[in-house]
């Protein structure tokens, strides 16, 4: 029998000033798509309930690994039964089954198959893709080594071509060259795409991709010349068998090099790609996908923290007036509402970058690479920025829930452990920001030469100087102009410093390193500008009360972002001290304006309880009952008196009594 909804939470929903369903439909593409999402997720949730009887954190690592394999098998079979092929349908189904819980198969489709689709020749795809999509060949993406990660040119694994046998000899020349961290590599995969230094006719031709079978397809035992295994416990993703892989003169056929853009002929002759960037174009899709994964983590964390803050009553505002909802405290609003704004902002940006990726991918397939550099720069910046901001946001939400936020029952530890590693995988964030900075600096040079730039870089063509005309009318254009001004100044300032350093005789690499902190700051400003503009553009078509609420949330995002980096906006006098006072006052006013709609804004994300997986964030608000139920499920409670009491605790206690000449304690005081 369902429990009644917590009265405080019910009142929050009744007091909202807009239609929550209207916002949910907007976020999910309309009423029919929302219904479709709910239908698929409910199907998945009902099935999973039969497989999983304990929270993931209550299982051993081995049990977690096995459970996620079962979950993956279940959802794959469900996809076949329903005849699903639409990416959105597949996304919703998998979200309901494996939220923040990757399995050994996770990178099979996301990285292994997708890399082959992008980089294999037509003949290779015809041969391999049917085997991969039917899971005869199960793989992952093996790039990172123990000694090298984001610096790809430093990778040490070699693939030396032997023209006599028409084979590549894959070798791990040192301990530092052992492949390390790929998900699913440890125990699940029988193959992988390996990035290695291609050597032919004595010449190192740089990194290329190779399809490598590592385990026997029937016995699943490692092949001779292969040493492979699981890397052990780590922070988060315990259900995934991240692995290591060492090659000892392991041979693969010449045709196992992915040859869509570059080739090795039988005699060892190398045919180079028309553009080296094509080999790495696939990374942009993974980074764009990570932005979506990050925003989902923050959306869930905010949902949990806001709902719990509406249910939790603690302390008094006026002495004797009784305990109040924690959400009524301005400090709690200041902690959570900017995170709520961040969640919406990153959500809209993730959709925009994925749409842009799909558009550019069409052009790339036709041989048009004009937009690839901006896609790379933008996806790198957003992957990095979303990783930082969503990690900080998830941790802030955990803090906001007090002690209960540290219980696995809250769902917040799992969320944090899933989003925080995104700051390093698929490109360490600082390195990615520096890649974006390199593109921005080059764009300044293009302007100097009179060349045109894509629209997303139009801010670089603005005139320098000027002062803000911001007043208490809170014009959207004025707030966006502040972000444009700041981004332009930071990019040009650091570009000028680089040029001056080189002109003074400094080596370019040294000059770059000496200005790298400011280069990262310029890239962050670029990312924030893109996000604040995207947010404004997305909500523009809305109307009525919903538009008013979303404009208030957008304004909070914009003003909080300015407040957090105020020095950047004050450095050249763009804002006056009076305008700063206006901004700081408006920030607090916005908290109060959003207070009645806080629960409604997180409800609109539309996460079922089974997906949210949180005692604190449950829809009905019956938090304390859920926490108590979770405690009762602890394995330590399966026996009232543990074996450890008789083995260790009791003997220790008795030894202390004897040492202090105390009588044996009676059964009752």
pLDDT at 252: 97
**Residues 6 or more apart from 303 whose CB is under 8 A from it?**
602, 603, 605, 607, 612, 617
**Residue 484 in domain:** yes
> Residue 190: pLDDT above 80?
yes
CA 102 to chain centre: 13
> Residue 664: pLDDT above 80?
no
Q: What tens digit of pLDDT does each residue of 120-131 get?
A: 999 999 999 999
Question: Residues 295, 426, 533, 593: which is the catalytic one?
Answer: 426
Q: Rounded mean pLDDT of the chain?
A: 93
Structure confidence at residue 549 as a pLDDT band (50, 70, 90):
very high
CATH number (domain holding residue 499): 1.20.140.10
**Residue 634 in domain:** no
pLDDT at 124: 96
Question: In this structure, what are the phi and psi dihedrals at residue 369, rounded to the nearest 5 degrees?
Answer: -105, 10
Extract the tokens encoding 44. Answer: 């998945």
> How far is Cα 127 from Cα 122, in angstroms, rounded to an integer?
9
Q: What tens digit of pLDDT does each residue of 214-270 get?
A: 999 999 999 999 999 999 998 888 888 999 999 999 999 999 999 998 999 999 999
- Of 556, 589, 622, the domain-final residue: 589
pLDDT at 604: 98
**Residue 493 in domain:** yes
**Which residues pair with residue 264 across a beta bridge?**
270
> How far is Cα 629 from Cα 615, in angstroms, rounded to an integer?
9
> Residue 1: pLDDT above 60?
no
Per the structure, the complete domain to which residue 531 belongs is given by: 430-589
**Residue 473 in domain:** yes
316 is catalytic: no
Residue 217: closest CA among 137, 140, 142, 106: 137
**Residue 5 in domain:** no
> How far is Cα 9 from Cα 603, in angstroms, rounded to an integer?
11
> Residue 277: pLDDT above 80?
no
pLDDT at 2: 64
Q: What tens digit of pLDDT does each residue of 610-648 get?
A: 999 999 999 999 999 999 999 998 889 999 999 999 999
Residue 297: closest CA among 405, 184, 420, 400: 420
**Residue 77 in domain:** no
pLDDT at 381: 97
pLDDT at 665: 65
Domain count within the chain: 2
Extract the tokens encoding 667. Answer: 């059964």
**Residue 225 in domain:** yes
pLDDT at 425: 87
> How far is Cα 55 from Cα 633, in angstroms, rounded to an integer?
9
Q: What tens digit of pLDDT does each residue of 50-102 get?
A: 887 777 888 889 999 998 899 889 999 999 999 999 989 999 998 898 888 88
Residue 474 CB-density burial (10 A; 0-12 exposed, 13-18 middle, 19+ buried): middle
Known binding-site positions for FAD: 144, 183
pLDDT at 452: 82
Known binding-site positions: 144, 183
**Residues 6 or more apart from 509 whose CB is under 8 A from it?**
none
pLDDT at 666: 65
Q: What tens digit of pLDDT does each residue of 335-344 get?
A: 999 999 999 9
Q: What tens digit of pLDDT does each residue of 367-378 get?
A: 788 888 899 999
**Residue 428 CB neighbours (<10 A):** 16
Task: Specify the pairing of strand 158-162 against strand 191-200.
Answer: parallel
| Contact criterion met (CB below 8 Å) for 466 and 572 | no
Residue 26: closest CA among 475, 616, 669, 553: 553
Question: In this structure, what are the phi and psi dihedrals at residue 191, rounded to the nearest 5 degrees?
Answer: -150, 170
- Of 570, 589, 608, the domain-final residue: 589
- Of 589, 609, 634, the domain-final residue: 589
pLDDT at 454: 84
Tell me the pTM: 0.93
| Contact criterion met (CB below 8 Å) for 400 and 332 | yes
pLDDT at 279: 61
CATH number (domain holding residue 182): 2.40.110.10
**Which residues pair with residue 227 across a beta bridge?**
246
**Residue 98 in domain:** no
Q: Which single residue is written with the structure tokens 């911001």?
A: 470
**Residues 6 or more apart from 559 whose CB is under 8 A from it?**
479, 583, 586, 587, 590
User: Average of pLDDT values for 28-36?
Assistant: 96
């Amino acid at each position: 029998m369902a429990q009644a909804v917590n009265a405080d939470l019910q009142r929050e929903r009744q007091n909202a000033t807009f239609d929550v369903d209207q916002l949910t439909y907007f976020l999910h593409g309309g009423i029919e798509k929302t219904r479709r999402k709910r239908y698929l997720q409910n199907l998945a949730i009902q099935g999973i309930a039969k497989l999983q009887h304990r929270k993931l954190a209550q299982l051993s690592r081995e049990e977690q690994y096995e459970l996620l394999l079962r979950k993956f098998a279940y959802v794959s079979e469900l996809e076949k039964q329903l005849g699903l092929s639409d990416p959105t349908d597949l996304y919703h189904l998998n979200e309901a089954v494996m939220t923040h819980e990757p399995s050994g198969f996770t990178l099979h489709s996301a990285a292994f198959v997708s890399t082959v689709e992008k980089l294999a020749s037509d003949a290779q795809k015809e041969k391999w893709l049917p085997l991969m999509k039917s899971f005869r060949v199960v793989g992952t993406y093996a790039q990172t080594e123990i000694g090298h990660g984001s610096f790809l040119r430093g990778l040490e694994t070699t693939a030396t071509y032997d023209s006599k046998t028409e084979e590549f000899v894959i070798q791990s020349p040192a301990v530092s060259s052992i492949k390390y961290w790929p998900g699913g590599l440890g125990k699940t995969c029988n193959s992988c795409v390996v990035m290695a230094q291609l050597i032919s006719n004595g010449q190192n031709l740089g990194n290329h991709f190779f399809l490598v079978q590592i385990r026997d397809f029937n016995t699943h035992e490692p092949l001779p010349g292969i040493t492979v295994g699981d890397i052990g416990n780590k922070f988060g993703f315990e259900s995934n068998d991240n692995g290591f892989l060492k090659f000892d003169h392991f041979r693969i056929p010449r045709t196992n090099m992915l040859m869509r853009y570059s080739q090795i002929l039988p005699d060892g002759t190398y045919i180079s790609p028309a553009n080296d960037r094509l080999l790495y174009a696939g990374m942009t899709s993974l980074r764009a996908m990570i932005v979506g994964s990050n925003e989902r983590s923050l959306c869930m964390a905010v949902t949990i923290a806001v709902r719990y803050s509406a249910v939790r009553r603690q302390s008094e505002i006026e002495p004797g007036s009784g305990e109040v909802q924690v959400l009524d405290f301005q400090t709690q609003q200041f902690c959570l509402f900017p995170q709520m704004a961040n969640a919406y902002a990153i959500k809209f940006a993730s959709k925009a970058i994925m749409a842009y990726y799909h558009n550019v991918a069409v052009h790339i397939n036709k041989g048009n690479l004009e937009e690839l550099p901006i896609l790379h720069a933008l996806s790198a910046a957003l992957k990095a920025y979303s990783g930082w901001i969503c990690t900080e946001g998830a941790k802030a939400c955990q803090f906001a829930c007090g002690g209960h936020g540290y219980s696995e029952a809250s769902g917040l530890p799992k969320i944090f452990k899933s989003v925080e590693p995104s700051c390093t995988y698929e490109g360490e964030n600082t390195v990615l920001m520096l890649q974006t900075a390199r593109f921005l600096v080059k764009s300044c040079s293009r302007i100097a030469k009179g060349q045109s730039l894509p629209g997303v870089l139009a801010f670089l063509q603005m005139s320098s100087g000027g002062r803000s005309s911001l007043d208490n009318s809170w014009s959207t254009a004025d707030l966006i102009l502040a972000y444009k001004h700041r981004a332009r100044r930071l990019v040009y300032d650091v570009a000028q410093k680089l040029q001056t350093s080189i002109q003074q005789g400094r080596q370019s690499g040294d000059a770059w390193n000496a200005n790298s902190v400011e280069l990262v700051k310029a890239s962050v400003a670029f990312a924030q500008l893109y996000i604040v503009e995207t947010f404004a553009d997305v909500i523009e078509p809305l109307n009525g009360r919903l538009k008013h609420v979303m404009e208030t949330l957008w304004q909070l995002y914009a003003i909080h972002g300015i407040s957090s980096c105020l020095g950047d906006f004050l450095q050249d006098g763009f804002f006056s001290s009076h305008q700063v006072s206006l901004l700081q006052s408006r920030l607090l006013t916005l908290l109060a304006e959003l207070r009645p709609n806080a629960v409604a804004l997180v409800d609109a994300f539309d996460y079922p309880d089974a997906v949210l997986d949180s005692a604190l964030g449950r829809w009905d608000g019956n938090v304390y009952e859920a926490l108590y139920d979770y405690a009762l499920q602890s394995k330590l409670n399966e026996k009232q008196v543990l074996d450890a009491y008789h083995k260790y605790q009791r003997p220790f206690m008795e030894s202390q009594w004897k040492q202090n000449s105390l009588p044996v304690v009676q059964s009752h005081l």
